[in-house]
Amino acid sequence: MDFANFLIQLLNSLQYGLLLFMLAAGLTLIFGIMGVVNLAHGTFYMLGAYLAWFLTAQFDNLLIAIVVGAVLAIAFGWALEWLLIRHFYKRDHLDQVLLTFGLIYIFQEARSILWGDDVHSVAVPAMFNGAIQLTDNLSYPVYRLVVSAVCAGLAMGLYLLISKTRLGMKIRAGAFNREMTESLGINIRFIHAIVFALGVGLAAVAGMVAAPISSVYPGMGSSVLIMCFVVVVIGGIGSVRGALVAALMVGLVDTFCKVLLPEIAGMAVYMLMAAVLLFKPEGLFKS
Amino acid sequence: MTTRRNLLTHSAAAIGAASTGLFLPELARAQSDKVRVGFMLPYTGTFAQLGVSIEKGFLMALNEQGGKLGGKEVEFFKVDDESNPAKGVENANLLVQRDKVDVLVGTVHSGVQMGIHKVARESGVLSLIPNAGVQVATRAQCAPNVYRTSFSNSQPTLALGKAMMDRGHKKAVWITWNYSAGAEALEGFEAGYTAAGGTIVEKLAVPFPSVEFQALLTQIAAIKPDAVACFFAGGGAAKFLRDFHAAGLSKTIQLYGSGFLTEGVLEAAGPAAEGVMTTMHYSDSLDTPRNKKFRLDYVKAFKSQPDVYSVQGYDAGQLLIIGANAVKGDLSNKSALYAAMNGVTIDSPRGKWTMSAAHNPIQDMYLRQVVKGENKVIGVAGKAVADPATGCRMS
């Protein structure tokens, strides 16, 4: 591999890592702060992608579709928390797994009834439709860079929200000691509803932003869910910073193993996870 | 809707089984005037559409005969296999042991097929495979009671090599998912391409079902082959076509593939699929009177467009009709049944094909190119292509 190729592969890793981060951020928030194992997270990603496809057809504009879709997704997350999730905070993790596993089936079937099982595509917005010529025969779509920028922007925003704002302080306090936070007069239920809605919103936005490059199909959620869990576990459950570092690591390992060691590419990411857990059983960043 | 119907069949069968109890033998005898057909297909999940197409095609073949098999009424039993290999044996046993079907039609997913295959070999029930291309079913584990009306996984790509060499593409990169169907497709491609004088300069694999192709596309750009040949299907195929195009590779490198690359995803892939060449045993746009009539009748009957899966289901129906007519609907007369089906020539919408000694179609492979969002047939890439049937001994 020559140097130019190496740089391009680095770019590929970074881009994949940032996309993974956006997906895993919502999961690690919900998992770390509320203690809820949300297996349906990948399904929200899939629903987001279908929403992008459906709304783009209505508005004829991906940007408007993403804004409307994000609002819908957050409202949906809020309603879901109020209807179901909040009754499971005090329950066993296994009950939560059962609930969210059931939700996967329900949302899959709902999607099948609403939108069918076909593969769809979402057009790349005209202003990002170009490509940058990298080598004589390889070009890089501008939209991929836009996606990376959006992911990086969201990562920054999340960091500021959690570490610099009053709401972020309450969220961290709630995750650290629920009873104490409550006794200080902070409405922890409200905080939880916000976090869950935010988590669902993040997954759906990831699906919507990724839709033009990934195409939209029924099984897309389940394949990303496992990667998300790997990222969350490597990064340390509940740590947004950890999720960012872990996602970038997974991106690097996955990309370079596919190129250099294709025989073990399928396992490489899991070997990374095992190695991290061996030395840091609670992940890279304990929350 | 199919799911609901499926549920009804399930509960009806369950109530039937519960209420009869010890009197089951009488019940079975009392109903022996009907042929019991079991569908084990995916009615939910990613492959749901394929299962529905197969069933419609099968029913259409039967309906052309007045809905009867060898003069007998037909009773249908359905199980949703969910494309879940872990439940393959269990689901096949539901049909064979609980519902006592005379013939089992299924399925799409190769892993699930192996479950059906195990049950079929143990129970001896007639098994018709309307899609799954898993090679061992008509190779080392071939069986007198198992017939396939679709293809073996290496068959479509076997015809690819010559077509590529005819266009002067002598150096190719192969790329697929790292799983058994991908490996079997590679086997066909390698055999055909090297025999035609081509060289595979690199074999690339993506872990299944990952759709993150960017790293390998970068590698392809660095290798600069004449052509890329691949095996992908479904949502992953749409994404691969789009990524390949977005990376600018389609400008300098011709993309080839097994026909499944461009089945059911052309709308999603859009302009990215234009010009891509594939080989397969069927194309929607096949310009023959037989295919046109089939497509017209199908649309009339089901108000939806048929696809390659409908054709494979239809041919499974045609095969069963030939067998059942020969034994006047008594499918327990196995030697006569098999004798009628062995080596038979089926007049299919895809063109006439013949059942091989290993019970897999010997069929023409068409070379198709995506033109204006349609798989246009350019010609026949391979005449009477047969699976090598390595290791098959019919007992």
DSSP B131: S
pLDDT classification of A65: cutoffs 50, 70, 90: very high
Look up the CATH number of domain B155-280+365-385: 3.40.50.2300
Report how far residue B82's alpha carbon sits from residue B192's, in angstroms, rounded to the nearest whole number.
Answer: 34
Q: Is the pLDDT of residue A233 over 80?
A: yes
The predicted structure's pLDDT at residue A133? 87
Question: Residue A137's Cα: distance from chain center in Å?
Answer: 32
The predicted structure's pLDDT at residue B9? 45
| Chain A residue numbers touching B264 (CB-CB < 8 A) | 118-119
All residue ranges of chain B with pLDDT < 50 are: 1-31
Question: Would residue B61 be called left, alpha or beta, if left means φ above 0 and alpha means ψ between -120 and 50 degrees?
Answer: alpha
Q: Does A121 touch chain B (CB under 8 A)?
A: yes
pLDDT classification of A287: cutoffs 50, 70, 90: low
Question: Residue A65's Cα: distance from chain center in Å?
Answer: 19
Greatest extent of chain B over all pairs of C-alpha atoms, in Å = 71
Distance from CA of A155 to the nearest CA of B (A): 21
Instruction: Considering only the beta carbons, identify the residue of A5, A108, A262 that sits closest to B218.
Output: A5
Domain boundaries along the sequence of chain B: 2-151+288-359, 155-280+365-385
B155-280+365-385: same fold as B2-151+288-359?
yes
Report how far residue B266's alpha carbon sits from residue B287's, in angstroms, rounded to the nearest whole number.
Answer: 19
Domain boundaries along the sequence of chain A: 3-117+128-279
Residue of A109 and B3 predicted with greater confidence: A109
The predicted structure's pLDDT at residue B32? 64
The predicted structure's pLDDT at residue B23? 42
The proportion of chain A whose per-residue pLDDT surpasses 70, expressed as a percent, equals 99
How large is the average pLDDT for residues A8-23?
A: 91
Q: Suggest the residue from A7, A137, A259 to mutate for an interface test with chain B (most B CBs closer than 10 A).
A: A137
Instruction: Considering only the beta carbons, identify the residue of B44, B206, B238 that sits closest to A215.
Output: B238
Q: Please give the mean pLDDT across all residues of chain A.
A: 90
* Residues 133-162 in A contacting B (C-alpha not used; CB under 8 Å): 133, 135, 137-141, 144
Q: Taking CA atoms, what residue in A is nearest to B217?
A: A138
- Which of A84-93, A250-259, B242-251, B345-354 reaches the highest mean pLDDT? B345-354
Domain B2-151+288-359 belongs in CATH node 3.40.950.10: no
Answer yes or no: do B214 and A255 touch at CB < 8 A: yes
Q: Is the pLDDT of residue A141 over 70?
A: yes
Distance from CA of B220 to the nearest CA of A (A): 9
The predicted structure's pLDDT at residue A34? 84
| Chain B residue numbers touching A140 (CB-CB < 8 A) | 247
| Chain B residue numbers touching A217 (CB-CB < 8 A) | 46, 234-235, 238, 268
Q: Is the pLDDT of residue A121 over 90?
A: no
3-state secondary structure chain A: CCHHHHHHHHHHHHHHHHHHHHHHHHHHHHHHHHCCCCCCHHHHHHHHHHHHHHHHHHHCCHHHHHHHHHHHHHHHHHHHHHHCHHHHCCCCHHHHHHHHHHHHHHHHHHHHHHHCCCCECCCCCHHHCCEEECCCCCEEEHHHHHHHHHHHHHHHHHHHHHHHCHHHHHHHHHHHCHHHHHHCCCCHHHHHHHHHHHHHHHHHHHHHHHHHHHCECCCHHHHHHHHHHHHHHHHCCCCHHHHHHHHHHHHHHHHHHHHHCHHHHHHHHHHHHHHHHHHCCCCCCCC
Q: How many CB pairs under 8 A join A and B?
A: 126
Instruction: Considering only the beta carbons, identify the residue of B45, B49, B221 that sits closest to A138.
Output: B221
Look up the CATH number of domain A3-117+128-279: 1.10.3470
* Residues 252-281 in A contacting B (C-alpha not used; CB under 8 Å): 254-256, 258-259, 262, 265-266
Q: How far apart are the first and last CA of chain B?
A: 42
The predicted structure's pLDDT at residue B168? 95
Its pTM stands at: 0.84
Q: At what angle do helices A188-214 and A62-83 cross, to 10 degrees?
A: 140
